[in-house]
Chain A
Amino acid sequence: MAADRHRLIEFASFVWSVAALALPLGVLVFLLSRSGSLAVEQTVIEALIKIVAVVGLYVFIGNSGIMSFGHVAFMGIGAYAAAWQTCCPMLKPIVMSGLPDILLQNTVPNFPASVASGLLAAAAALAAGAVILRLNGIAASIASFSLLFIVNVIYSNADRFTQGVGSIVGLPVYVTPTVAYAWACAAIALACLYHRSRFGVALRACREDDVAARAAGINVYVQRLIAFVLSAFLLGVSGALYGSLLGTISVDTFFLDMTFMLVAMLVVGGVRSVAGAVVGVTAVSAVVEIFRQLQNGIEVGAFHVALPAGFQGIALALFMLAVLIFRREGITGGHEAILPERLRRALLALKK
């Protein structure tokens, strides 16, 4: 009896933590999409895709406490995997001649392609993580950073698969705000599920005190690997979606600038919670968008006032530093959206 009640509360708690993020996000997306501006719609889609990515980052970084600068490598892997599956059927055999025939002759529908891209990224993460997660703390961060460079070098030079340093064009531009929103919600749900699962709790224990965690029977390495692979899956999917933003990708898109942007978003929002990831992306995207408008120029009286290009990057970096200095835990302070006490008590009191 108590167990049933308990399960109900657990479920309600889960639904709440997802809804508390998904619903306001949905409202925001809905309102912004009605604005009619194509540019705004693009921004919204991009932000939602980044939510998938940053939520993925949170799954690993937030729970393990290991700062990984290499995860964007998995985003790139996912993006190119999607390209291999869905791009330009006419051009593919010429442009990506190194691919196996089965890919050259077929086009995979978008949704399965995204999932498959995520899975490929996850597989790569399994291989890479098995190696680098044997390291501790800073060494692991550095090794993951290494990974970013390795993938960048390989993809930049594997011309027959990736067009090298050139761009691949002709990807299907199919991601609408609705599609992106659906994926963002899926990512949030997955991250919340992980967070409250025995694996999430175990990994956070490792983060808090890895010696005591071992004494409690936790296999630190395995827990880290699980989070690493799951987060890579989300990043891979986000990469696949990213390609459909403009229909084009290149290797350098998924390198240092993207890494900084995503990490900044997570840090600003709050590293230790899913809410932090979502809030961070939203806040930073808003700021970036404002600066972009300012850079495009606004009419002040008879004058056209514009900020020089590049200011948005400076503003973002300053913003991030300010957060780190003054509110280290980020905007959300690492708190998740939790079931309000009144609701919990109400559920406990249900007659069954």
Chain B
Amino acid sequence: MQSLVDAAATGSLYALVALAIGLVFGVMRLINFAQADYITIGAYALIVPSASTVPTLFIGAWPMPLMVAAVALVVVLVALATERLAFRPLRGTDPSTLLVSSFALSFLFQQTIMLIFNSRPKSIEFGSALAAAVEIAGLRVPGVQLLTMATTIVAGTLLVFFLRYTALGVEIRAAAEDFTMAQLLGVRANRVIAVSFAISGLLGASVSLLLVVQTGTLDYRMGIMPVIYGFFATVIGGMGSLPAAALGGFLVGAASQLLQAWLPPDLRPFRDAFVFGFVIAVLLFRPEGLARPRAMRERV
């Protein structure tokens, strides 16, 4: 039972990542590896730049609403900058080129962060109050897990509302379905893409804060694994469908936790291998992902 809660929490976290990746993929056919660095940058924004392994809090020391807003702002600005400077010139190129360039961008960020902050992981006191466990229905659930699940639900709901009921949201969905047609109908490409990146930045910021509360550590590669998982999750769920991406994230996170709990101790270190193998298995069984995307079949 405890492991189910863990699974739900981890799944929620990966769902947040998957949403961000799925959104950007939807409008640009770009798999944004740099999402990992949005997460990392959000976390590192909390501290004063230094090479020390026990850094002092900077934004992290501000009152909570201000801090959250500041981190969100930083990450969104970074996301928008990457869109404007790196991805806009590459718009319309084939998916492989986009993939490789986001890979390069991610590497660039990692190296820069490593340069400024040093490659050794740092530990910080942050949100430790949330690490305390709450008793619910006989289970001890750490506050941070509840927060993660709550954040995902709120973020997901807001996103659904935004995409369905606002003009901008509708434009984004149209662009995701058929970009050229949407442009012909007057949808402004730049605005749609920029907004999508901004949203992915917001999602990235929330993931980074949740991660820092959960682990208390900063590492220049901390965003990579969540994004890898989120990335696989999008694929499992089906690229082109946001709810499915979230579902995929949930499944991957849940699978990872459940395997941890249920695998025999000998095999537990290999848990990740099973998860990745599971990804391949799903891809084989349903290459388009579990949801059925609309316009993906090629007409002969």
Instruction: Give 1 or 0 for each of B268-300: 1 = CB within 8 Å of chain A CB.
Output: 011011001101100110010000000000101
In chain B, positions 103-117 with a C-beta closer than 8 Å to chain A are 103-105, 107-108, 110-112, 114-115
| Distance A310 CA – B279 CA, assembled complex (angstroms) | 34
Q: Contacting A321 at CB < 8 Å: which of B99, B105, B287?
A: B105
Q: Considering the chains assembled together, what is the distance between the CA atoms of A176 and B177 in angstroms? A: 55
Q: Is the CB of B276 within 8 A of A146?
A: yes
Stretch at the interface among B73-81, B137-145, B197-205, B227-235: B227-235
Please pick, from A65, A131, A211, A313, the residue contacting B298 in the complex, using a CB distance under 8 A.
Answer: A211
Check if B283 sits within 8 Å of A314, measured CB to CB: no
A308–B115 contact, CB under 8 A?
Answer: yes
Instruction: Please tell me which stretch of B4-12, B41-49, B86-94, B211-219 contacts chain A, meaning at least 4 of its Cβ atoms lie within 8 angstroms of it.
Output: B86-94
B108 pairs with A142, CB closer than 8 A:
no
Q: Chain B contacts of A317 at CB under 8 A?
A: 104-105, 107-108, 111
Q: Which residues of B contact A267 (CB under 8 A)?
A: 100
User: Does the CB pair A149–B272 fall under 8 Å?
Assistant: yes
A142 in contact with B107 (CB, 8 Å): no
- A135 surroundings in chain B (CB, below 8 A): 283-284, 287
**A152 CB to closest chain B CB, in angstroms?**
9
Of the stretches A23-31, A112-120, A256-264, the one at the interface is A256-264
Please state if A149 and B283 are interface contacts (CB–CB under 8 Å).
Answer: no
Q: Which residues in window 204-228 of A have CB below 8 A to B?
A: 211
Known: A211-B300, A317-B104, A318-B108. A142 touches B283 (CB 8 A): yes
Q: Say yes or no: B279 contacts A256, CB within 8 Å.
A: no
Q: Does residue A275 face the partner (Cβ distance < 8 Å to B)?
A: no
The dominant DSSP class at the B interface is: helix
Taking the complex as formed, is B166 at the interface, i.e. its CB lies under 8 A from any CB of chain A? no
Q: A139-B235, A149-B228, A308-B115 are in contact. Are A321 and B86 (CB under 8 A)?
A: yes
On chain A, the number of residues with a Cβ less than 8 Å from chain B's Cβ atoms is 44
The distance from the CB of A202 to the nearest CB of chain B, in whole angstroms, is 20
Instruction: Please tell me if the beta carbons of A324 and B90 are within 8 angstroms of each other in the complex.
Output: yes
**Nearest-neighbor residue (CB-CB) of B284 within chain A:** A134
Contacts of A134 in B (CB 8 A): 284, 287
| B300 proximity list for chain A (CB < 8 A) | 211
Partner of B232, one of A132, A142, A256: A142
Asked, given contacts A153-B276, A317-B108, whether A138 binds B103 with beta carbons under 8 Å apart, the answer is no
Residues of chain A within 8 A of B280, CB atoms compared: 131-132, 143, 146-147
| Given A142-B235, A150-B273, A136:B104 Cβ within 8 A | no
Check if A67 is an interface residue, CB within 8 A of chain B.
Answer: yes
- Asked if A171 is at the interface of the complex by the 8 Å CB criterion, the answer is no
- Contact between chains at B31 and A139 (CB < 8 Å): no
Main secondary structure of the interface of A (DSSP, over half): helix
A166 CA to B229 CA, complexed, in Å = 25
Q: Contacts A136-B287, A146-B279 known; A310 to B111 CB distance under 8 Å?
A: yes
What 0/1 pattern do residues 125 to 161 of A give for CB contact below 8 A with B?
Answer: 0000001101111110111011101100110110000
With A314-B111, A321-B105 already in contact, the answer to whether A143 and B97 are too (CB < 8 A) is no
* A11 on the B face (CB < 8 A): no
Distance A291 CA – B279 CA, assembled complex (angstroms): 39
Asked whether any CB of chain A lies closer than 8 Å to the CB of B239, the reply is yes
Contact indicator B228/A313 (Cβ below 8 Å): no
Query: What is the bound-complex CA distance between A244 and B202, given in angstroms?
Result: 47
Q: What residues on A are CB-neighbors of B101 within 8 Å?
A: 320-321, 324-325
B96 touches A (CB below 8 Å): yes
A264 and B104 within 8 A (CB)? yes
A88-134 interface (Cβ within 8 A of B): 131-132, 134
Q: Determine the chain A residues whose CB is within 8 A of the CB of B108 once the complex forms.
A: 313-314, 317-318, 321
Q: Quote the shortest CB–CB distance from B254 to chain A (angstroms).
A: 18
Instruction: Find chain A residues with CB under 8 A from B272 CB.
Output: 149-150, 153
Interface 0/1 of B213-253, CB less than 8 Å to A = 00000000000100010011001000100000000000000
The residues of A that contact B105 with a CB separation of less than 8 Å are 317, 321
Note all chain B residues with C-beta closer than 8 A to A183. Answer: none
Are A149 and B276 in touch, CB under 8 angstroms?
Answer: yes
Per a CB cutoff under 8 Å, which of A131, A256, A318, A328 touches B224? Answer: A256
Report B4 CB to chain A, min CB distance, Å. 24
With a cutoff of 8 Å between Cβ atoms, the chain A residues found around residue B99 in the complex are 67, 138, 141
B277 to chain A, nearest CB (A): 6
Residues in A lying within 8 Å of B, measured CB to CB: 65-67, 69, 131-132, 134-139, 141-143, 145-147, 149-150, 153-154, 156-157, 211, 256, 260, 263-264, 267, 308-311, 313-314, 316-318, 320-321, 324-325, 328
- 19 contacting pairs across A/B (C-beta < 8 A): A65-B96, A66-B96, A67-B99, A132-B283, A134-B284, A137-B95, A138-B99, A142-B231, A142-B279, A143-B279, A211-B300, A260-B104, A264-B107, A309-B115, A313-B107, A314-B115, A317-B105, A320-B101, A325-B101
Q: 8 shortest A-B CB distances, which residue pairs?
A: A313-B111, A317-B108, A310-B115, A157-B269, A153-B273, A67-B96, A146-B276, A320-B104
Extra contacts, 13 of them, besides A67-B96, A156-B269 (Cβ < 8 A), are A146-B277, A150-B272, A263-B100, A309-B115, A310-B111, A310-B112, A314-B112, A314-B115, A320-B100, A320-B104, A324-B97, A324-B104, A325-B90
